[in-house]
Amino acid sequence: MTEYSIIVKDLRKKYGDIEALRGVTFSVRRGEIYGLLGPNGAGKTTTIHILTTVIRPTSGYAEVAGHDVVKEPDEVRKRIGVVFQDITLDLNLTVYENLWLHGKIYGIPSNELKKRIEEVLDLIELKDWKNKLVKNLSGGMKRRVEIARALLHRPEVLFLDEPTLGLDPNSRMKIWNYIKMLKKEYNITILLTTHYMEEAEQLCDRIAIIDRGKIVAEGSPEELKSIIGREVIYVKFTGTPPISILKTLEHVRDIKLIDKNRIEITVDNAPKALPEIIEVFYKTGAQIEEVSYKRPTLNDVFVYLTGRELREEESNFNEHLRMIMRRRYLT
Amino acid sequence: MRWVSVIGAMALRQLKRFFRARARALSTIMMPLMWLLLFGIGFSTAFKGIGFRSVIGTSYISFLVPGIVCMTMFVSSFMSGISVIWDRQFGFLKEVIVAPAPRTFIIIGRVLGDVTTSLIQATLIMMIGVAIAQNLAIYNIPIALLYCLLLGMIGAGLGTMLALSINSIEAFQALVSFIILPLNFISNIFYPLNRMPIWFKIPALLNPITYATDALRILLIHRGAIGLGPDALVLIVLASIVLVAGAYMFRRTSIE
């Protein structure tokens, strides 16, 4: 038993002239939730596909649950659960039948399988739906069934490719809760990809920011935000601001007057800096009317590192397009 | 014994899907039924007494029933095999690809399920045929169904291979009608081969449907051109080749 469930070294994948992955390296510890955060086309899904043995890398090394994904794909397959970005359920079977079929293919004995199906249905709260055809389920429910199915054979590592893509906020919260519960109760290792920064921030112990086939930064959400480091405090006041004294404070990095009664103070530790700042204002007799402060988001980190946004609008359009296409074929 | 459970589960999946998609099942059985009822009865009534009997030795409708049974078997199993393309389109194929089960068992299970559903349809057409034609050798039906089984394996295997080798849904729809119709006509389903010119006979003899139909004619109306032994041999060899090749393709398939 090594400390790491996933080890990836200099992974590369070429499609013709296009390099989808340009040397990706990272490791995921046992029991950790690790996120790949990046815009569409960054290489997240390609990475997942290689790690789940769906495609082969052009070069580089990847190991999942102690086995080489290229040399021992079957050993890897036994130990992983996968929820792909697109629904991979059989829409013309019921929830129960989908789970049953999966269990049979994974070689779970019949009586054990029955027990486990009830167990996972309980987990995703879909017991009442077990005899409904999957095609009649909402998008969020389908996703939940897929998570249940991926857990049925008790994998060591769970892969979730954009687990809440295209879901409404309510369903998204539900899925987040399941993922948190999985970590707490099963201590399973989870690798998830997302281009929603709140998702990465809410769920992940560590995040790799990936862009154009390369990891540009890695760390806990806090660590990543500290790359930018600075938090900004806004103070609205009446009277004369004590600028010269503020400048001497330990955590203050920069001060800017926005207009004659608002000031922007850049600090590197807002919780510590705030009381000091308030005290300075109080002592010098300037009146504070409002205080607010802004912490950097992962999106700010992404912009800082790549000079671009996570491009939510564009991806929403693609999602929309895909949903239309799917609906057309399904009905 | 894990492979039994994999094969069984995949076969059961195909059966469940078949019985659930009633509209599709009905439409696949409607086509041969129309050939049998509308074309068969119409044709034999229109040309009654002009010498059919002297050529084929029985009524045209009795001659037609074995052919239409084989047509049902082939088209239906071919179409089920080709439904792999929908698994690819709707993602279920990915679920199978990341599973640790050997893909050969997966595809064997699938083909087995497909052949079973096709056999159900062919049996139904056979029963209707027996009722209309009245002089068929009913006691030979079980053996006839064995020949159908072989033909079904060929159909399902060919369908699977075709589905795995094309990626666009548009191309596939055009291709299907382009394949199925000629295959049905360039055979002995509608006419006895011995009256046909050589340029017609050769492609017809390359068509597996011809051998199954010939066997069924021998069994059901005691008239055939090739012989039960050679028919069985050709079908068994073809089925083996198609299944091995299909399994090979399925093992190597990916979703890049």
* pLDDT tens by residue, A45-54: 999 999 999 9
Would an 8 Å CB–CB cutoff place A104 in contact with chain B? yes
Query: A158-174 pLDDT, tens per residue?
Result: 999 999 988 888 889 98
Among all residues of chain A, which has the CA nearest to that of B11?
A101
Nearest to B6 among A15, A93, A105 (CB): A105
- If you average pLDDT over residues A308-319, what whole number do you get? 58
Give me the amino acid identity at A38: G
Angle at Cα A46 formed by Cα A41 and Cα A48, nearest 5°? 125
Long-range contact set of residues A11-20: C-beta below 8 Å, sequence gap at least 24: A11/A47, A11/A50, A11/A57, A11/A59, A11/A60, A11/A61, A11/A62, A12/A57, A12/A58, A12/A59, A12/A60, A13/A43, A13/A46, A13/A50, A13/A55, A13/A57, A13/A58, A13/A213, A14/A58, A15/B256, A19/A213, A20/A46, A20/A213
Q: How far is A91 from chain B (nearest CA, A)?
A: 8
Spatial neighbors of A223 by CB under 8 A, at least 6 apart, are none
What pLDDT is recorded for position A313?
45
Q: What span, in angstroms and rounded, lies between the C-alpha atoms of A291 and A233?
A: 7
Q: How far is A48 from chain B (nearest CA, A)?
A: 12
Largest CA distance in chain B: 63
Query: B194-250 pLDDT, tens per residue?
Result: 888 999 999 999 999 999 999 999 999 988 889 999 999 999 999 999 999 999 999
Q: How far is CA A118 from CA A95, A115, A177, A317, in A?
A: 11, 5, 19, 38
Would an 8 Å CB–CB cutoff place A279 in contact with chain B? no
pTM: 0.84
By CB atoms closer than 10 A (0-12, 13-18, 19+), residue A327 is: exposed
Which two structure tokens, joined as six digits, stand for B33?
């039924």
In terms of DSSP bridges, do strands A59-64 and A4-15 run parallel, antiparallel, or are they unpaired?
Answer: antiparallel
Would an 8 Å CB–CB cutoff place A289 in contact with chain B? no
Would an 8 Å CB–CB cutoff place A78 in contact with chain B? yes
Give the bridge partners for B54, in sequence order.
Answer: none
Contacts of B254 in chain A (CB under 8 A): 54-55
Angle at Cα A314 formed by Cα A170 and Cα A33, nearest 5°? 50
Q: What span, in angstroms and rounded, lies between the C-alpha atoms of A27 and A50?
A: 15
- If you average pLDDT over residues A112-141, what whole number do you get? 92
Q: Mean pLDDT, chain A, as a whole number?
A: 87
